[in-house]
A and B are shown apart, each in its own frame.
Chain A
């Protein structure tokens, strides 16, 4: 079946604007994760969903960041009033159970 998909692949925005990033996990995967990867850095955990609930939001860097998941499937990460330090690749991953996480191709966000 299809892997994890994300859209858009690239997003350029102006400082202060809001952006929405979308993740379509592998069908049937109940766990969904968002990570952020800054240039030349490792992956930084942002938020974890189990079904539609988010029991672990500990990685969200500020209240400008929020995420939701509907129907136990698609997830949207929203960044309000974007700042230049938000520029990074945002990666989504899904898994069937605790264990192997399958990553999407990421959304490269550039805040001018």
Chain B
């Protein structure tokens, strides 16, 4: 079935350290993988996404890597700052026709000053 597993569920790092969140997906036909950041009581906001024809994408302190063979993708945040503290969700699109997203369970990232 359609499934996305996300780990860890919580992550605590010191300011300036790196943070890595990993996700695996079940359907090899998935072709779009966004990452959303959700602050408490706010709407999810897209921070970066990657398509299946690309192995890595970077945007300033944020990068995403995709391993299609292993069916997993990861979010990397470098030089973390307290404002990076939030819940991060990975997702995979299981249908190129509808864009329907299946989300992971989320990772609560805490960056300690």
Instruction: Write the residues of chain A forming the contact surface with B, with a CB cutoff of 8 angstroms.
Output: 31, 33, 35, 40-45, 48, 50, 55-56, 91, 95, 97-106
Give the docked Cα–Cα distance between A44 and B89 (Å): 12
Give the docked Cα–Cα distance between A40 and B34 (Å): 20
Shortest distance in angstroms between A3's beta carbon and chain B's nearest beta carbon? 8
Interface string of B69-97 (1 = CB under 8 A from A): 00000000000000000000101010111
- Other than the given A48-B100, A99-B99, A101-B46, 17 more pairs (CB < 8 A) read A33-B99, A41-B105, A42-B89, A44-B103, A48-B99, A56-B98, A95-B99, A97-B99, A98-B32, A99-B32, A99-B49, A101-B34, A102-B46, A103-B43, A103-B44, A104-B43, A105-B43
Chain B residues contacting A48 (CB-CB under 8 Å) are: 98-100
Question: B62: CB under 8 A from chain A?
Answer: no
How many A-B contacts at CB < 8 Å in the complex? 64
Do most interface residues of chain A lie in helix, strand or loop, or is the interface mixed? strand
Give the docked Cα–Cα distance between A41 and B99 (Å): 21
Asked whether, in the complex, the Cβ of B49 is within 8 Å of the Cβ of A100, the reply is: yes
Asked whether, in the complex, the Cβ of A100 is within 8 Å of the Cβ of B100, the reply is: no
Output the nearest chain B residue to A56 by Cβ-Cβ distance: B98
Give the docked Cα–Cα distance between A44 and B45 (Å): 16
Give the docked Cα–Cα distance between A97 and B72 (Å): 24
Chain A residues contacting B34 (CB-CB under 8 Å) are: 100-101
Asked whether, in the complex, the Cβ of A43 is within 8 Å of the Cβ of B89, the reply is: yes
